Amino acid sequence: MGNYVSSAMDANMEKQQKFMLDMNRMTIERQIHMQDAMREKMMAMQVAKARDQFLWMGTFYCFAALAMFKGFSKTRKPAVLAPLLPLTFVVGYVGDLAYGTKMQRMKAEAENVIQLEGSLLDMPAGLPTVDSIDLARFKSAKD
């Protein structure tokens, strides 16, 4: 009789453990999907911000270039056109980020860093442990 109860408890315990493992797996998968969705939304906001910046900077660039060319036509001094060079690079950079392939190039470079230079990504003094966190917590509680 005791053997029957013990085997029933063992079977129930195994079911509970499997249920807990499945729930933990599902929770982690949900967290991964949620974090990925948040990452995508943040990147979409960055692209939208770059596009808005490009609109404003492009408009400024056009008006500034017209003013510089008008000033050059009156004075015939090439120095009047000098600010056009750095402005061109700035507008080109933002335009590449907003509408070009900069995001794909950044992603590819990040993958290269992860694969080839992973040591650059290590945390200084290593990953924190539960013991180090508790020690810091107790230290701050004493102070």
Residue 125's φ and ψ, nearest 5 degrees, are 65, 15
pLDDT given at position 5 = 63
- Give 11's pLDDT tier (boundaries 50, 70, 90): confident
Position 4 pLDDT exceeds 70: no
pLDDT given at position 6 = 72
pLDDT given at position 8 = 75
Task: State how far the Cα of 97 lies from the Cα of 127, in Å rounded to an integer.
Answer: 33
Task: Please write the tens of the pLDDT for every residue from 34-83.
Answer: 999 999 999 999 999 999 999 999 999 999 999 999 999 999 999 999 99
In 3D space, the residue among 80, 101, 97, 77 whose CA is nearest the CA of residue 89 turns out to be 97
Task: Please write the tens of the pLDDT for every residue from 42-53.
Answer: 999 999 999 999
Give the distance, in angstroms, between the CA of residue 11 and the centroid of all CA atoms in the same chain.
Answer: 46
Bigger pLDDT: 44 or 11?
44
Counting beta carbons within 10 angstroms of the beta carbon of residue 47, is it exposed (0 to 12), middle (13 to 18) or buried (19 or more)?
A: middle
Task: State how far the Cα of 72 lies from the Cα of 75, in Å rounded to an integer.
Answer: 5
Position 16 pLDDT exceeds 80: yes
Task: State how far the Cα of 133 lies from the Cα of 143, in Å rounded to an integer.
Answer: 16
Structure tokens at 59: 């408009």
Counting beta carbons within 10 angstroms of the beta carbon of residue 65, is it exposed (0 to 12), middle (13 to 18) or buried (19 or more)?
A: middle
Average pLDDT of span 5-19 = 84
Task: Please write the tens of the pLDDT for every residue from 91-142.
Answer: 999 999 999 999 999 999 999 999 999 999 998 888 889 999 999 999 888 8
Whole-structure pTM value = 0.72
